[in-house]
Chain A
Amino acid sequence: MKRRRLTAALLAAVVLCAAALSGCAKGEKSAGGEKEITVAVNSETGTLDPAGAIALTYLSYSVTALDELLTYDENGDIEYRAAESYEVNEDSTVWTFHLREDALWSDGTPVTSEDFLNTIRRALDPASGSGYAVYLFPIENAEEIYNQEVSMDTLGVDTPDDHTLVFRLEAPCVYFLDLLRLPVYTPSCAKYADSVDSGWDKDPATSLANGPFMLAEYVPDQYFVLEKNESYWNKDAVRLDRITYRFFDDTQAMAAAYETGEVDVAVSLPSAVMDLYEGRDDLLVTDQIATRYIYFNLNVEPFDDVRVREAFNLAIDREELCRIVGADTEPTYNLVAKYMIDKNTGMRFVDEAEQPFEENVERARELLAEAGYPDGQGFPELTYNYPTLEMDSDTAQVIKEQLKENLNIDIELKAQELQANYSSRYAGDFDLCRMNWTADFADPYTYLSMLLSNSTYNCSGIQDEEYDAIVEASGSEQDPAVRSELLHQAEQRAVGEQFYIIPLYAMKSINLVNPEITGLKQIPASGALEYRYADIG
């Protein structure tokens, strides 16, 4: 009796283990010699429709499945994708793109200019919920169409033939080519992509791709599978047969799945992973083209006084801050992302000019005294709003401590749920507010334009005509050297003279990648990993 029970228990254990092994063994090379990888990505949200309300899932999908007109490689050279050439008129207001005639959708039909227009038209309907619609506004009448003031016929996009696409702009825009990587400038097949709520985008039969991979399966909340697109014009350069993206909503779970071999790549992991994997080939640390900083509310006394803003900036010890917050952060003294590369020089943009300011506690105390608050006396108790993410909570503690020690100022900390933080920020309902900005496109304009007086991202109440004039001039300046000078001048004014913000740090992404995988690239504009031409072994 006893023995039988024991046998039964053992049998059960063996069955379970066998099932376990069959469940988690996910080899890179399957029996048929096919090459496949599994990538862990952050939990899904949003659609795969470039004209819809998109989030991380779309970004993972589009970088491997969709070809934009053209993009820039890591050296800042143009890499033509859906287009094979372009022309621009004298004052950068008319941009003509010639599409690749051999480019096909994954069902074998040609990619035409109408497919590009299809995305643009649909994105300009607010019902699509596209957060990127605002990047179409440089096009003639696009903003008026979005606000439903004029009809769609007046849109400044022409398609004289199937392989020519012409953009007429409202005003000169020298960084227009950088915008082309944004979803709203990516094609969606006009035959199927009709609306954001028909479900075409997640159905492999209708969700066509014009890039190296195409959608093969989409299982909501769990994973999606991309397979090699045999119709792709450059398919000979594509090595992998299949990429599976699995959704995770906990980074700890992601790291565990990498450790057990259930996934081959895990991205954006917590900084503790850096210590665990130190010295191992799996660890891949990449630059994020992003800046964490703090907004002052200029309508709140005494932040209307530039001396107080300067004192705050000079009193913070960013080296110490980064030591405490994590090894994935690095101090920055700029608004423009520290790791953003200037395509004209190949250098980091921020390294081309002098650091806008130097930390100096002595000077900070003097400035505060000049502003009428010697040794912090009489300084009102102001509040710092930040989201309840671990990194921001740690940052807030350190800043509170440093301001107390260096300036004898008390600030009150107010941790908010992420959405609540956004909403109080956009409502201007704060004294100091945490901000993070990841570049939308690879040009300093994506940062500097946020502080324009009429920008909807300007939550600080900055009204600076001189600054506006410099930034606006940079948008139409044709000479790269002169333009670069204008951009540096703008940054110097905003960060080093007027101290509109408190820059804190730039961040690294911590990724784990199976060392067998080769050919991974980083997208220069965002710093994200790209698997288009990856290979195994």
Chain B
Amino acid sequence: MIAYTLKRLATGIVSLFVLATVTFFLVRLIPGSPFQNGGVSTQVVEAVEEEYGLKEPLLDQYLTYMGNLVQGDLGVSYQEPDTTVAEIIGRTWPVTASLGLVALLASVFLGTGLGILKAVSKKKAVREGIAAGGMLLAGIPNFAAAILLLLVFSVKLRWFPSAGLLTPAHYVLPMISLMIYPMAVISRLTGNTLASEMGKQYVLFARAKGLGKGRILFTHALKNAWIPVLNYVGPVSAFLLTGSFVVESIFTIPGLGREFVSSITNRDYTLILGLTVFMGTVVILVNLVTDLVCTWMDPRMRRAYSGK
């Protein structure tokens, strides 16, 4: 198990190295300059680029950057020369992560709850209602949901504020926009797997033993039914924790996703690279944790990894 974890960490580091390298050169292939905003004279742009070392051979710049990266130095933003990339991540990631975490928890709890309801309800209307609702919600892209929620609950009804993330009320609409899709998928996954688990022999046996319905459901069936869900929750949490640009932009949330897109628009090379490497790290770590949790939950896989 430890050997497996170490191996995964090592491949993670190699992936990050490749990611940083590819991004470094791709970013430089995009036409434009961090110091050109349309009205700046070419003479000035060239002088400033020279000053920032952007006129040196690309390979030298790459080696300098990688050298600093190994030491954990992500450099300074070109747009805000008084701010390091690490500081920008430090101020934007907590915003994105707090929203992402709330959306993740909400979608997992509500999704699982609806899934259970769908699997065990005796009323056909409830089962089909959840199935149809899930299908519908899974079909709404989050930007459409965000605009609709904004118009209805903020502009028309005035229930929730429209911009920023200053009070708990500010979280509600962006959280809903982010959780709709994962919630729908989780409820479908849970519902389907739970329904098939409930028909298996061990459930029949438990019932024959005289266990209560709730006990069978929560201690036996749900644990098994949840493994495929967990495999889905991993990537989704990586997505939610690195921020959705569209939702952040519509609700004016000062998060990582918004910062990422504006860094590309501004050609803020160090910031683009820093954010890419950081997001890559989050994705790799979250996937690793998901795999480890799955292994821990599934005895068959646990045995396979622990070397028999």
In whole angstroms, what is the CA distance A418 to B83 when docked?
25
Q: Which of A43, A55, A423 lies in contact with B31, CB distance below 8 A?
A: A423
Q: Is the CB of A45 within 8 A of B31?
A: no
Within 87-135 of B, Cβ neighbours of A (below 8 Å) are at 88, 91-92
Name the distance in Å between B67's Cβ and chain A's nearest Cβ: 21
A147 at the A/B interface (Cβ < 8 Å)?
yes
B249 in the interface, Cβ–Cβ < 8 Å? yes
Q: Would A249 and B252 count as touching, CB distance under 8 A?
A: yes
The residue from B39, B80, B154, B265 contacting A418, defined by CB atoms under 8 A apart = B265
Question: Are the CB atoms of A260 and B33 closer together than 8 Å?
Answer: no
Cα distance A170–B250 when bound, in Å? 50
A250 touches B162 (CB 8 A): no
Contacting pair A256 B79 (CB below 8 A): no
A363 CB to closest chain B CB (Å) equals: 34
Q: Tally the A-B contacts, defined by beta carbons under 8 Å.
A: 173
Q: Please, what's the 1-or-0 string for A76-89, where 1 marks a CB less than 8 Å from any CB in chain B?
A: 00000000000000
Chain B hits for A196, CB < 8 A: 81-82
B163 contacts A423, C-beta separation under 8 Å: no
Query: Residue B51 contacts which of A47, A127, A426 (CB distance < 8 angstroms)?
Result: A127
Closest chain-B Cβ to A527's Cβ sits at a distance in Å of: 15
Q: A419-B267, A426-B36 are in contact. Are A45 and B262 (CB under 8 A)?
A: yes
- Report yes or no: B36 in contact with A47, Cβ–Cβ below 8 A: no
- State whether A134 and B43 are in contact (beta carbons under 8 Å apart), knowing that A221-B259, A222-B254 are contacts in the complex: yes
Tell me if B83 and A199 are in contact (CB < 8 A): yes
A252 to B162, CA, bound (A): 11
Chain B residues in 8 Å Cβ range of A198: 82
- The answer to whether A45 touches B32, judged by C-beta atoms less than 8 angstroms apart, is no
**Does A129 contact B265, Cβ atoms closer than 8 Å?**
no
Closest residue of chain B to A203, judged by CB? B82
Contact B163 A419 (CB under 8 A): no
Closest approach, in angstroms, between the C-beta of B43 and any C-beta of chain A?
5
B166 surroundings in chain A (CB, below 8 A): 23
Inter-subunit contact A246/B266 (CB<8 Å): no
Would A422 and B38 count as touching, CB distance under 8 A?
yes
Does A391 touch B at the CB level, under 8 Å?
Answer: no
CB distance A197 to B250 under 8 Å? no
Please state if A47 and B262 are interface contacts (CB–CB under 8 Å): no
Q: Interface readout for B64-80 with A: 1 if CB under 8 Å, 0 if not?
A: 00000000000010111
Select one of A22, A24, A47, A126 contacting B81, CB under 8 A.
A47
B32 closest partner in A (C-beta): A419
Say whether A22 contacts B254, CB under 8 Å: no
Nearest residue in B to A425 (C-beta to C-beta)? Answer: B38
Neighbouring A residues of B52 by C-beta, 8 Å: 127, 129
Query: Is B14 an interface residue when CB atoms closer than 8 A count as contact?
Result: no
Q: Which residues of A contact B79 (CB under 8 A)?
A: 45-46, 53
Interchain CB contact under 8 A, A256 and B154: yes
Which applies to chain A's interface (DSSP): helix, strand, loop or mixed?
mixed
A264-308 CB mask vs B (1 if < 8 Å, else 0) is 000000000000000000000000000000000000000000000
Do B36 and A423 have beta carbons less than 8 Å apart?
yes
Of the listed stretches A13-21, A400-408, A480-488, chain B binds A13-21
Q: Is the CB of A129 within 8 A of B48?
A: yes
Q: Report if A422-B36 is in contact (Cβ < 8 Å); known contacts: A52-B81, A202-B82, A253-B250.
A: yes
B58 at interface (Cβ–Cβ under 8 A)? no
* B83, B168, B265: the one within 8 Å of A19 (CB): B168
Task: Report whether B249 and A249 are in contact in the complex, using a CB–CB cutoff of 8 Å.
Answer: yes
Contact A456 B169 (CB under 8 A): no
Question: Residue A131 contacts which of B40, B51, B164 (CB distance < 8 angstroms)?
Answer: B40
Given the known inter-chain contacts A131-B37, A257-B252, please indicate yes or no for A20 contacting B161, CB distance below 8 A.
Answer: yes
A73 interface contact, C-beta 8 A: no
Q: Do B252 and A248 have beta carbons less than 8 Å apart?
A: yes
CB-CB contacts below 8 Å: A6-39 with B: 16-17, 19-24
Contact of B47 among A52, A126, A252 (CB under 8 A): A126
Interface assignment of B35: CB less than 8 Å from any CB of chain A = yes
CB-contact partner of A253 in B41, B252, B266, under 8 A: B252
Q: Is B302 located at the chain interface by the 8 A CB criterion?
A: no
Complex contacts, A456 vs chain B, CB 8 Å: 41-43
Q: A221-B91, A222-B254, A249-B262 are in contact. Are A129 and B81 (CB under 8 A)?
A: yes
Q: How far is the CA of A256 from the CA of B50 in the complex (A)?
A: 43
Interface residues of A in 227-280 (CB under 8 A from B): 246-250, 252-253, 256-257, 259-260, 262-263
> Which B residues are in CB contact (< 8 Å) with A20?
159-161, 167, 169, 172
Cβ contact within 8 Å between A262 and B163: yes
Tell whether A423 pairs with B250 under 8 Å between CB atoms, given A16-B172, A19-B168, A126-B51: no
| Residue pair B161, A440 in contact (C-beta under 8 Å) | no
| Cβ-closest chain B residue relative to A199 | B82
Q: Is B252 a contact partner of A247 (Cβ separation < 8 A)?
A: yes
Shortest distance between the CB of B245 and any CB in chain A (Å): 10
A81 CA to B84 CA in the complex, in Å? 36
Q: Distance (Å) between the CB of A302 and the closest chain B CB?
A: 27
| A53-B35, A131-B37, A456-B41 known; A201-B82 Cβ under 8 A | yes
Q: Which residues of A contact B169 (CB under 8 A)?
A: 16-17, 19-24
Contact between B150 and A256, CB atoms less than 8 A apart: yes
A256 with B155: CB separation less than 8 A: yes
Residue of B nearest to A426 (CB): B42
| Any A CB within 8 A of the CB of B8 | no
Flag whether B188 is at the interface (Cβ < 8 A): no
A246 to B101, CA, bound (A): 25
B171 to chain A, nearest CB (A): 9
Cβ of B170 within 8 Å of any chain A Cβ, yes or no, is: yes
Candidate in B35, B166, B169, B266 with the most chain A CB atoms within 10 angstroms: B169
Chain B residues positioned under 8 Å from A24 (CB to CB): 158, 160-162, 169
Please give, as numbers and ranges, the residues of chain B lying within 8 Å of A23 by CB-CB distance: 160-161, 166-167, 169-170
B158 touches A260 (CB 8 A): yes
Q: Does B181 contact A (CB under 8 A)?
A: no
CB distance A260 to B155 under 8 Å? yes
Other 11 A-B pairs with CB < 8 A, given A53-B81, A260-B154, A419-B30? A126-B51, A129-B51, A198-B82, A253-B162, A253-B163, A256-B151, A262-B163, A417-B265, A419-B33, A420-B32, A457-B41
Which 10 A-B pairs give the minimum distances between C-beta atoms? A419-B32, A221-B254, A24-B161, A20-B169, A131-B40, A199-B82, A126-B47, A23-B167, A19-B169, A423-B31
Chain A residues with CB under 8 Å of chain B are 16-17, 19-24, 43, 45-47, 52-53, 55, 126-127, 129-131, 133-134, 146-147, 196-199, 201-202, 220-222, 246-250, 252-253, 256-257, 259-260, 262-263, 417-420, 422-424, 426, 436-438, 440, 456-457
- 17 CB contacts below 8 A, A to B, read A16-B172, A46-B80, A47-B82, A126-B47, A127-B51, A129-B78, A129-B81, A134-B43, A221-B258, A246-B164, A249-B252, A249-B258, A259-B162, A417-B265, A419-B36, A420-B32, A426-B42
